[in-house]
């Protein structure tokens, strides 16, 4: 019987349980998703988890029909941990499904989590939702030819997804695209993905809308609730394309190549009077198509310049053909340095509100700026096949003879590693910083203390060649995490077999299906380091200090 990993169970136990009843269902979506993913029109299903007490959808996934019942558990975890607005993270007291086999499967998978799994032959609330979806579909897809939507999808994947412009541009660096057709003068492109939340491009239809949205977000600050944020979000005037990754699973460690993730592009519009909706007219598709094509060419030609810390004025002209038409338009694409400066000043510095500091002012400086919040940390072992495969994506300060000795030992068993799994953009930033600081030299675990909550921590710390110290993990030493000490001890014994050396793996996939269990394709880089006693680095007990 399939069950959740122990780490997931522990995490869910900390999420409050509510006495609500949730309903879950999985049905065919034939004809419903043509404008979002043509590949799923005849071979797709949609999963819904709905809070039957409050009456809103907590999570929804679109999948291939052949996907097994485990996807129901995965979507349920999303409903518990990362629900749609306005829901908050919570566990239900009871869930109801209309499939007997699914009921028995969920009972086994969720055992020990104090969730009742019940069966009902009919779920009226979900029946009504499915009917609404079917009725909406005819409106959504009626005015746009499938061939045009397919062309838009292809240009988005080839010019945007494959180039990953969010690795070059920050969200403050806006690209102006002059269309001068279809009642559109200019579009202002902003990338999403540098912060690892969502991947995509927003095409603002007016500069005022872009500025107003940024200003409102700053003004409400951290005190805003979900309803306020959603209201501000829906006041934007823009088109958007979001990309969702379809990550392959169960890849062999013997793979000669790490497969590239596939992606699906989702298009839509946001307007103060219309809210958020899919594209409805071909007159919307044309400017989006040309904007994405021009933006992609601009990024490809000027990527080196766009990687500069301060981007100067760059301008390019492109003559592009409107799809399935004889119309050719001259499109100008340019940077807006003055706007970038204005937005950067608007947001200001984004420093952490707190950090660990030393009791002794003479102790070395330490910070937690390298590893982003939410990074999944695990003590693990790397199989030799993968260890050998990733050598061209590794950085070592270990003497050559010692490194060869380690490789020989690893060929007979494994290599102990610490896995840091986050999103792709954040992982790339970590890699770039560590390479710039000439790699990892030392790794240690040190005591930390929060005097406000009276909690002791085990802090993972790494030291770079430039002698900078970074916290990479923070584990509370309470009753629930007592097993961490045992895991650490066992892992340290494995490291001792390799003369005290271990690896630091930087992996992506923290937002995908391989969350908590990175596959070979998710592993981006390997750094070597020596596990040392914290005293060697001059560390004493770290105390949480709030400025």
Confidence label for 367 from pLDDT (cuts 50, 70 and 90): confident
What are the structure tokens assigned to 161, written together? Answer: 């997804």
**Is the confidence at residue 407, as pLDDT, over 60?**
yes
What span, in angstroms and rounded, lies between the C-alpha atoms of 59 and 85? 10
Q: Would 92 be classed as within a structural domain?
A: yes
Picking from 118, 139, 160, the residue at the C-terminal end of a domain is: 139
Query: Is the model's pLDDT at 140 over the cut of 70?
Result: no
Q: Kind and range of the H or E element at 11?
A: helix 6-14
DSSP string, 237-252: -EEEEEEEEE------
Asked if residue 536 and residue 390 are part of one domain, the reply reads yes
Q: Which of residues 415 and 176 earns the better pLDDT score?
A: 176
Looking at residue 391, what is its pLDDT?
76
Q: Are 219 and 231 in contact (CB under 8 A)?
A: no
| Three-class SS state of 144 | coil
Q: Are residues 392 and 526 in the same domain?
A: yes
- Residue 510: phi and psi, rounded to 5, are -65, -15
DSSP tag of 492: H
481 and 416 together in one domain: yes
Q: What letter does residue 161 receive in the DSSP assignment? A: I
What is the 3-state secondary structure of 256-308? CCCCCCEEEEEEEEEECCCEEECCCCHHHHHHHHHHHHHHHHHHHHHHHHHCC
In whole angstroms, give the CA distance from residue 380 to residue 84: 33
Cβ(471)–Cβ(368) under 8 Å? yes
pLDDT band with cut points at 50, 70 and 90 for residue 353: very low
Mean per-residue pLDDT for 484-513? Answer: 85
Task: Collect all residues with Cβ–Cβ distance below 8 Å to 499 and sequence separation of at least 6.
Answer: 402, 405, 406
- What is the residue range of 275's domain? 146-246+257-347
DSSP bridge partners of 119: 97
Grouping H, G, I as helix, E, B as strand and the rest as coil, residue 499 is coil
Q: Is residue 426 part of a domain?
A: yes
Same domain, 112 and 35: yes
Asked if residue 434 is part of any domain, the answer here is yes
Which of these ranges, 68-82, 123-137, 398-412, has the smallest mean pLDDT? 123-137
Provide the pLDDT for residue 33.
45
- Residues 433 and 475 placed together within one structural domain of the fold: yes
Please tell me the distance from the alpha carbon of residue 474 to that of residue 420, in angstroms, as a whole number. 12
With 70 as the cut, is the pLDDT of residue 466 above it?
yes
Residue 198, pLDDT above cutoff 90 = no
Q: Do 389 and 381 meet the contact criterion of CB atoms below 8 Å apart?
A: no
Tallying the residues shown for the chain, one arrives at 547
**Tens digits of residue pLDDT in 211-260:** 988 888 777 755 555 566 777 888 899 999 988 765 433 333 332 333 34
Q: Does the structure show a pLDDT above 90 at 527?
A: yes
H-run or E-run covering 446 = strand 440-450
Return the closest-CA partner of residue 418 out of 462, 384, 450, 449.
Answer: 462
199 plus 64 within the same structural domain: no
Closest CA to 478 of 500, 461, 496, 454: 454
Q: H/E element holding 426?
A: helix 424-436
Q: Are residues 477 and 454 in the same domain?
A: yes
Residue 95: its pLDDT value, please?
A: 92
Give, rounded to a whole angstrom, the gap between the first and last alpha carbons of the chain: 49
The enclosing domain of 59 has a CATH number of 3.30.420.230
Output 469 or 261, whichever has higher pLDDT. Answer: 469
List pLDDT tens digits, range 270-305. 888 777 888 888 899 999 999 999 999 999 999 888
Catalogue the long-range contacts made by 54-62 (C-beta closer than 8 Å, 24 or more residues apart).
54/20, 54/87, 55/125, 56/84, 56/86, 56/87, 57/84, 57/129, 58/22, 58/83, 58/84, 58/87, 59/83, 59/84, 60/84, 62/29, 62/33, 62/36, 62/37
Q: Which H/E stretch holds residue 319?
A: strand 315-321
pTM of the full structure = 0.47
Half-sphere exposure at residue 88, Cβ-oriented, CA atoms within 13 angstroms: 8
**What is the structure's pLDDT at 545?**
61
| Number of compact structural domains in the chain | 3
Q: What is the C-alpha to C-alpha distance for residues 74 and 48, in angstroms, rounded to an integer?
A: 12
In whole angstroms, what is the distance from residue 268 CA to residue 243 CA? 12
Return the higher-pLDDT residue of 140 and 178: 178
Q: What is the DSSP letter of 274?
A: T
- 401 Cβ neighbours under 8 A, 6+ residues apart: none
252 domain residue, yes or no: no
Of 326, 347, 368, the residue that ends a domain is 347
Q: What is the mean pLDDT of the chain?
A: 79
Give the residue, 196 or 54, on which the prediction is more confident.
54
**Per the domain annotation, does 31 fall within a domain?**
yes
- Does 486 map to a domain? yes
Residue listed under structure tokens 């799809």? 323
Q: Which two tokens stand for residue 114?
A: 């104090």
Residue with tokens 């122990």: 6
- Asked whether residue 251 is domain-assigned, the answer is no
Domain boundary among 313, 347, 381: 347
Mean pLDDT over residues 147-168, rounded?
A: 90
Q: Is residue 1 part of a domain?
A: no
pLDDT at residue 31 in the model: 46
- pLDDT tens-digit map of 31-69: 444 444 444 445 567 888 888 877 778 887 777 666 677
Residues whose CB falls within 8 Å of the CB of residue 483, separated by 6 or more in sequence, listed in order: none
Q: Residues 335, 477: one domain? A: no
Q: With contact defined as beta carbons under 8 Å apart, do 316 and 302 qualify?
A: yes
Asked if 361 and 493 sit in the same domain, the reply is: yes
Average pLDDT of 484-499? 86
Res 393: pLDDT: 87
Burial of 23 (0-12, 13-18, 19+ CB in 10 A): buried
Calculate mean pLDDT across residues 86-113.
85
Distance CA 433, CA 110 (A): 41
* pLDDT of 77 higher than 90: no
Q: What is the pLDDT of residues 431-454, one digit of tens each?
A: 999 999 999 999 999 888 777 767
DSSP track, 335-403: E-HHHHHHHHHHH-----SEEEEESSTTSPPEE--SSPTT-EEEEEEEEHHHHHHGGGGEE--S-HHHH
CA distance 456 to 541: 10
The pLDDT value recorded for residue 250 is: 33
Phi then psi for 6, rounded to 5 degrees? -60, -40
372 and 339 together in one domain: no
Regarding whether 325 and 215 lie in a shared domain, the answer is: yes
Helices (H), 466-543: 482-496
- How far apart CA 301 and CA 163 sit, in angstroms, is 11
What pLDDT is attached to residue 38?
46
Q: In angstroms, rounded to a whole number, what is the distance separating the alpha carbons of residues 339 and 345?
A: 10
My answer on whether 172 and 59 are in the same domain is no
* pLDDT score of 10: 63
């Amino acid at each position: 019987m399939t069950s959740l990993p122990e780490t997931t169970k522990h995490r869910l136990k900390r999420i409050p349980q509510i006495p609500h009843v949730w309903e879950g269902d999985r049905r065919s979506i034939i004809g419903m998703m043509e404008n979002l993913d043509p590949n799923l029109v005849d071979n797709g299903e949609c999963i819904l988890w709905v809070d039957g007490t409050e009456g809103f959808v907590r999570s929804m996934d679109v999948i291939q029909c052949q996907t097994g019942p485990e996807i129901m558990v995965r979507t349920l975890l999303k409903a518990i941990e990362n629900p749609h607005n306005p829901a908050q993270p919570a566990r239900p007291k009871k869930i109801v499904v209309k499939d007997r086999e699914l009921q028995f499967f969920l009972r086994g998978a969720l055992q020990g989590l104090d969730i009742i799994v019940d069966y009902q032959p009919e779920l009226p609330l979900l029946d009504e939702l499915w009917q609404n979806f079917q009725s909406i579909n005819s409106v959504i897809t009626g005015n746009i030819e499938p061939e045009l939507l397919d062309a838009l999808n292809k240009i988005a994947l080839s010019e945007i997804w494959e180039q990953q412009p969010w690795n070059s541009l920050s969200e403050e660096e806006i690209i102006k695209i002059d269309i001068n057709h279809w009642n559109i003068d200019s579009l202002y492109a902003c990338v999403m993905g540098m912060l690892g939340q969502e991947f995509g491009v927003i095409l603002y239809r007016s500069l005022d809308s872009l500025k107003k949205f940024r200003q409102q977000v700053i003004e409400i600050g951290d005190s805003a609730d979900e309803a306020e944020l959603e209201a501000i979000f829906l006041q934007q005037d823009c088109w958007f394309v979001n990309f969702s990754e379809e990550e392959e699973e169960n890849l062999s460690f013997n793979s000669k190549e790490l497969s590239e993730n596939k992606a699906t592009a989702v298009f839509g519009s946001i307007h103060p009077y219309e809210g958020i909706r899919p594209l409805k007219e071909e007159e919307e598709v044309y400017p989006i198509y040309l904007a994405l094509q021009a933006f992609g060419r601009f990024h490809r030609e000027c990527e080196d310049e766009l990687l500069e810390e301060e981007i100067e004025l760059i301008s390019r002209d492109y003559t592009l053909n409107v799809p399935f038409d004889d119309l050719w338009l001259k499109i100008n694409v340019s940077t807006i340095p003055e706007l970038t400066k204005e937005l950067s000043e608007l947001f200001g510095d984004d420093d952490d509100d707190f950090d660990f500091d030393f009791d002794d002012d003479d102790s070395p400086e330490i910070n937690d700026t390298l590893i982003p919040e939410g990074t999944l940390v695990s003590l693990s072992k790397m199989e030799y096949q993968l260890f050998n495969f990733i050598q061209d994506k590794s950085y070592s300060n270990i003497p050559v003879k010692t490194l060869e000795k380690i490789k020989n030992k690893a060929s007979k068993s494994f290599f102990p590693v610490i896995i840091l799994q986050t999103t792709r953009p954040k992982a790339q930033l970590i890699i770039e910083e560590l390479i710039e600081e000439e790699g990892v030299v030392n790794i240690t675990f040190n005591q930390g203390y929060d005097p406000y909550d009276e909690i002791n921590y085990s802090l993972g710390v790494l030291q770079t060649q430039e002698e900078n110290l970074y916290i990479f993990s923070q584990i509370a030493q309470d009753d629930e995490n007592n097993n961490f000490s045992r895991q650490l001890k066992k892992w340290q014994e494995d490291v001792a077999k390799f003369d005290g050396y271990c690896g630091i793996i930087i992996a992506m996939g923290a937002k995908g299906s391989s969350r908590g269990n990175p596959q070979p394709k998710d592993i981006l880089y390997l750094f070597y380091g020596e596990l040392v006693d914290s005293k060697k680095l001059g560390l004493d007990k770290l105390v949480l200090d709030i400025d």
